[in-house]
Amino acid sequence: MADRLPGEVSGGQAQRAAVARALVHGPSVIFADEPTGSLDTGAAEAVLAALVDVAAVEGAALVVVTHDHQVAAHLDRLVYLRDGVAVDQSMAAR
């Protein structure tokens, strides 16, 4: 993948590269909008684990926007939005 231009990689490869770029500098807040959307199950688990692990190690806040209940299950706190308004929140049951 290193020798290819951005337009020459798959959606999943581009998504993983974007996650790596977001994590490399140790940010204090990590924003992820559907971070596993273009990935197969194995790659999705790896990306999600990396996001959660890096956030924990770096002491960073991880803010994830997702429609995927399996992704949400990996997170500590859930805020549900309807029409742009927070309508409910809960601590995730793991």
> Residue 2 has which token pair?
């290193």
* Alpha-carbon gap, residue 71 to 34, rounded angstroms: 9
pTM of the model: 0.76
Domain positions in the chain are: 6-67
Task: Give which of 14, 22, 23 is closest to 43, Cα–Cα.
Answer: 14
pLDDT tens series, the chain, 94 aa = 567 676 777 777 777 788 888 888 888 999 999 988 878 898 889 889 988 998 999 899 999 999 999 899 889 999 999 999 999 888 865 5
